């Protein structure tokens, strides 16, 4: 499996997975910080921006036979499945986008490659960065931590790209603080808005609650190319991409984990899967949903698999998606990979990475949509 993705405004960083780490390899991008409140612990020294890491699955003899294919083209690669030739050639399936969906897609790829001659290349530029590759036919699959935007639907139509949406998992955005934070265990959506809205006046914990210490809140969150950023700002600040800019942004959620873990007065938002693999380093806050004028405050709900799947963890529970270019589905290896992604067999992998499986009815719905699309494309030949 090839793990990559172009850096955005900085050099790429190669991360190596540990026993409990969420990545086996990725490229990391970062954005400028208006007023950086803290510096996370140093990462591994940077490598060249175009350098990729290969997993143990890819590091066998098949790595030499991999041939890149142009994503989204109508011509399928010459594989055993498509040509019937005796000497099968391997092909590369490209998936680009969300850092949240990345570890799920990575787990799918590892298992898929064990039974296939094909390789899955996974990039992590954020949902927005992945879309740019998808719309330019540089990716077969677009991993997204938010639903497709109407503007994107229009642009894809204008470029003649037909696509299919597959809901492959569920996530909850966790509001995380340092475990040494003993004063705050719960927070309301109204308080989150006070912190994160543009031109926020909140600088210290006591600005939110007079009983809390007059210590600065060091903020950490997703960068502006992230689907998590878009989703969070829309549901909390009621306007997509509207945010307090006085925070440390990162495309790599592990950077956010490190920053929160290193600062007693930090607060940040991260995907559920990254929290579950770092519970000894982080403390998750219960969240009370928004209230209308005159309504009593709603109960605080902690992020758990059950509360996220049921939607009780509102408004921060959300579906995760894989979008595929239907032209790419003409290639048997792309169709096979996605069939595995929405199969019963793949579901345990989602839980192992700390994310939440979709309900069985939703999994069957996604599998049915995929099968229908494949059949239609086959009939049209």
Quote the tokens at residue 305.
């698999």
61 and 124 co-located in one domain: yes
Task: Outline where the chain has alpha helix (H).
Answer: 80-83, 102-114, 127-135, 150-158, 189-196, 227-237, 253-262, 272-276, 305-310, 332-341, 347-352, 360-379
Whether 76 and 195 map to the same domain: the answer is no
Tokens encoding 215: 């210590």
Question: 274, 253 in Cβ contact below 8 A?
Answer: yes
Residues 354 and 217 grouped into a single domain: no
Task: Spell out the per-residue pLDDT of the chain, length 381, in tens.
Answer: 555 544 333 333 333 333 334 333 333 333 444 344 444 443 333 333 333 333 333 333 333 333 333 343 333 333 333 333 333 588 999 999 999 999 999 999 999 999 999 999 999 999 999 999 999 999 999 999 999 999 999 999 999 999 999 999 999 999 999 999 999 999 999 999 999 999 999 999 999 999 999 999 999 999 999 999 999 999 999 999 999 999 999 999 999 999 999 999 999 999 999 999 999 999 999 999 998 877 888 999 999 999 999 999 999 999 999 999 999 999 999 999 999 999 999 999 999 999 999 999 999 999 999 999 999 998 876
Contact by Cβ (8 Å): 56, 79? no
> Are residue 125 and residue 51 in the same domain, yes or no?
yes
Query: Are residues 185 and 143 both part of a single domain?
Result: no
Looking at 267, 295, 317, the residue that finishes a domain is 317
Q: Dihedrals φ, ψ of 309, to 5°?
A: -65, -35
Please answer whether residues 230 and 128 qualify as being in contact, where contact means their C-beta atoms are separated by less than 8 angstroms.
yes
Report the distance separating Cα 245 and Cα 200, nearest Å.
Answer: 9
* Containing structural domain, residue 346: 2-170+320-379
224 in the same domain as 75: no
DSSP assignment of 127-187, as one string?
A: HHHHHHHHHTT--SEEEESSPPPHHHHHHHHHTT--EEEEEEEEEEEEEEE-TT--S-SEE
Report the CATH number that the domain containing residue 232 is assigned in CATH: 3.40.190.10
Cα–Cα distance between 228 and 98 in angstroms, integer?
Answer: 8
Same domain, 68 and 17: yes
**How many structural domains comprise the chain?**
2
CA distance 166 to 175: 27
* End-to-end alpha carbon distance in the chain: 30
Looking at the fold, whether 340 and 367 belong to one and the same domain comes out as yes
Residues 241 and 291 in one domain: yes
Same domain assignment for residues 161 and 112: yes
- Is the backbone of residue 366 left (phi > 0), alpha (psi -120 to 50) or beta? alpha
Q: Where among 317, 335, 368 does a domain terminate?
A: 317
Please indicate, yes or no, whether residues 297 and 352 belong to a single structural domain of this protein: no
Together in a domain, 18 and 102: yes
CA–CA gap between residue 238 and residue 230 (Å, rounded): 10
């Amino acid at each position: 499996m090839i793990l990559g993705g172009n850096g955005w405004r900085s050099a790429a960083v190669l991360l190596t997975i540990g026993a409990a780490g969420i990545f086996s390899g990725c490229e990391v991008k970062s954005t400028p910080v208006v007023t950086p409140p803290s510096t996370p612990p140093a990462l591994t020294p940077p490598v060249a921006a175009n350098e990729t890491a290969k997993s143990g699955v890819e590091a066998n003899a098949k790595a030499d036979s991999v041939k890149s294919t142009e994503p989204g083209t109508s011509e399928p690669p010459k594989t055993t499945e498509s040509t019937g030739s005796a000497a099968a050639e391997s092909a590369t399936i490209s998936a680009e986008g969300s850092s949240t969906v990345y570890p799920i897609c990575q787990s799918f790829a590892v298992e898929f490659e064990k039974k296939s001659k094909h390789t899955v290349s996974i990039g992590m530029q954020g949902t927005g960065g992945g879309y740019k590759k998808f719309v330019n036919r540089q990716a077969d699959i677009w991993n997204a931590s938010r639903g497709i935007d109407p503007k994107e639907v229009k642009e894809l139509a204008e470029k003649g790209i037909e696509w299919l949406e597959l809901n492959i998992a569920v996530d909850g955005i966790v509001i995380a603080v340092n475990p040494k934070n003993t004063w705050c265990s719960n927070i309301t959506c109204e308080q989150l808005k006070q912190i994160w809205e543009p031109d926020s006046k909140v600088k210290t914990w006591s600005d939110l609650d007079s009983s809390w210490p007059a210590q600065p809140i060091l903020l950490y969150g997703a960068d502006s190319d992230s689907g998590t950023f878009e989703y969070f700002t829309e549901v909390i600040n009621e306007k997509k991409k509207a945010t307090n800019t006085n925070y440390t942004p990162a495309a790599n959620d592990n950077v956010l984990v490190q920053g929160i873990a290193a600062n007693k007065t930090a607060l940040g938002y991260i995907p559920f899967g990254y929290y579950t693999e770092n519970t000894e380093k982080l403390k998750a806050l219960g969240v009370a949903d928004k209230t209308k004028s005159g309504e009593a405050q709603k109960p605080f709900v902690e992020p758990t698999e059950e509360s996220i799947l049921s939607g009780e963890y509102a408004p921060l529970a959300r579906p995760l998606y894989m979008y595929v270019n239907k032209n790419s589905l003409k290639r048997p290896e792309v169709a096979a990979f996605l069939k595995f992604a929405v199969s019963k067999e793949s579901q345990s992998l989602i839980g192992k990475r700390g994310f939440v499986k979709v309900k069985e009815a939703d999994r069957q719905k996604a599998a049915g949509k995929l099968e229908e699309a494949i059949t239609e494309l086959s009939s049209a030949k």
